[in-house]
């Protein structure tokens, strides 16, 4: 088994860490996306198009972990959402944190 496969196996066994993801969110995302992910951060008022409310079932009906990862790393062209290139582990942690915003179904 190659060391790379070993590392991936080790990582997936540990799972993503939403708490680490929360720190990244606070540092990089909440200015626009808001403290609770509602799209109402202090910087959002000035934006022509506001980020969506990530605490609604409607938002989660349209996204997957993979689609979230794509938007986060590549951004949305033509919007204030720039890409945040990240290594797979911190990205998985961040997406795990975003998943904690999902309303109970």
Report in angstroms how near the CB of residue 9 gets to ligand HEC at its nearest. Answer: 26
Distances in whole angstroms, Cα of residue 6 to Cα of each of 9, 13, 15, 51: 5, 11, 14, 38
Query: Is the torsion defined by CA of 18, 22, 24, 30 positive or negative?
Result: positive
Report in angstroms how near the CB of residue 32 gets to ligand HEC at its nearest. Answer: 3
According to the binding rule CB under 6 A, does residue 60 interact with ligand HEC? no
- How many CB atoms neighbour CB 94 within 10 A? 26
Residues within window 83-102 making contact with ligand HEC, judged by CB under 6 A: 84, 94
Interface with ligand HEC (CB under 6 A), residue from 32, 91, 92, 101: 32
**Helices 65-74 and 88-99, axial angle in degrees (round to 10):** 120
Residues that bind ligand HEC (CB under 6 A): 28-29, 31-33, 43, 47, 49, 51-52, 68, 71-72, 76, 79-81, 84, 94
């Amino acid at each position: 088994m190659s060391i790379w496969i070993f590392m991936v196996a080790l990582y997936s066994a540990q799972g993503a860490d939403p708490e680490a993801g929360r720190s990244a969110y606070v540092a990089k995302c909440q200015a626009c996306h808001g403290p609770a992910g509602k799209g109402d951060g202090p910087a959002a008022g000035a934006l022509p198009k506001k980020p969506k409310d990530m605490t609604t079932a409607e938002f989660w009906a349209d996204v997957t972990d993979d689609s979230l990862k794509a938007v986060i790393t590549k951004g949305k062209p033509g919007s204030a959402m720039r890409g945040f290139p990240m290594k797979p582990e911190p990205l998985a942690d961040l997406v795990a944190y975003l998943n904690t915003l999902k309303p109970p179904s």
